[in-house]
Copies of this chain bind each other. A is one copy, B any other.
């Protein structure tokens, strides 16, 4: 995969001008990418509280002031309405439109939430020398809704979604310590081993993403997944919500390594 090693500011400028329109994998090597969820101020308290109560699936790295599209903490000068290559507009929990520029959909009462994503801890696993089958084979991870309930907050409730990566047994401890350094990007695994213990009936048939290949001796290791907050938010059918399109993330100015020390 070719890597665009320019500073995120330059990459975001190309996204804003429409020169870059695809998925963000491989863009901004070494910088934290983030999931986007935008909700009206009326829903923002419940969603903020939901994230605070469920930090593993919902690791907040930025919350904007109502009406402001600028994530001053992680990318000063950026504009969350234009600097992501794809958006989804949701009304009453139903996908209404998929757009490249969210400016016409912005409102003065909107609050944007940026949540850490698995790219950061996968980078840490790879740096630690752990092989990831889905990365080597250009696939998505496998994801499931589990029997683990999130702690509810106001109107938001639902099960935790997890992602699974097969890890060689001798590498499990290393996978735990390497990812645990990044609590703002889902952190350590929430479960190691027996899929049935968290309500997963068939580890070869994911609810989302791609089935994974197990090498002999591989153990399924499960991390809390960023699909959780979006699924939970949409399940409550908020009248209005904006998210990024899958794979089209926001690229922050925060180096992956710095996230461990935030």
Are A73 and B183 neighbours in the complex by a CB distance under 8 Å?
A: no
Q: Complex Cα distance A106/B215, Å?
A: 58
How far is it, in angstroms, between the C-alpha of A151 and the C-alpha of B188 when the chains are bound? Answer: 28
Taking the complex as formed, is A45 at the interface, i.e. its CB lies under 8 A from any CB of chain B? Answer: yes
Of B53, B73, B188, which one neighbours A73 at CB under 8 angstroms? B53
Residues of B within 8 A of A53 (CB): 63, 73
Q: In the assembly, what is the distance between CA of A45 and CA of B50, in Å?
A: 12
Closest to A180 in B: B261
Size of A's binding interface in residues, CB under 8 A: 18
Residues A59-105 near B (CB distance < 8 A): 60, 63, 65, 73
How many copies altogether? 2
Taking CB atoms, residues of chain B closer than 8 Å to A188 are: 261
- A52 CB–B CB distance under 8 Å: yes
The complex places the Cα of A262 from the Cα of B154 at a distance, in Å, of: 22
A residues 1-49 touching B (CB-CB < 8 Å): 44-45, 48-49
- Give the residue name and chain of the B residue nearest to A41 (CB): B45
Distance in Å: Cβ of A78 to nearest Cβ of chain B: 16
A153 to B45 Cα, complex, angstroms:
13
A45 closest partner in B (C-beta): B45
Among B48, B151, B153, B183, point to the contact of A49 (Cβ < 8 A): B48
Measured between alpha carbons, how far is A63 from B188 in the docked complex, in Å?
23
Residues 246-262 of A contacting B (Cβ, < 8 Å): 261-262
Question: Of residues A49, A151, A261, which shows the largest number of chain B Cβ atoms within 10 Å of its Cβ?
Answer: A49
Chain B hits for A48, CB < 8 A? 45, 48-49, 52
Bound-complex Cα distance A35 to B52 (A): 17
Given A53-B73, A65-B153: 10 more A-B contacts, CB < 8 Å? A45-B45, A45-B48, A48-B48, A48-B52, A49-B63, A52-B52, A52-B60, A52-B63, A55-B262, A65-B154
* A residues with CB within 8 A of B: 44-45, 48-49, 52-53, 55, 60, 63, 65, 73, 151, 153-154, 183, 188, 261-262
A selection of 11 A-B contacts at a CB cut-off of 8 Å is: A44-B45, A45-B48, A48-B49, A48-B52, A49-B63, A53-B63, A65-B153, A65-B154, A73-B151, A183-B183, A188-B261
The 10 A-B residue pairs with the shortest CB-CB distance, nearest first, are A45-B45, A48-B48, A49-B63, A52-B60, A52-B63, A48-B49, A44-B45, A48-B52, A73-B151, A53-B73
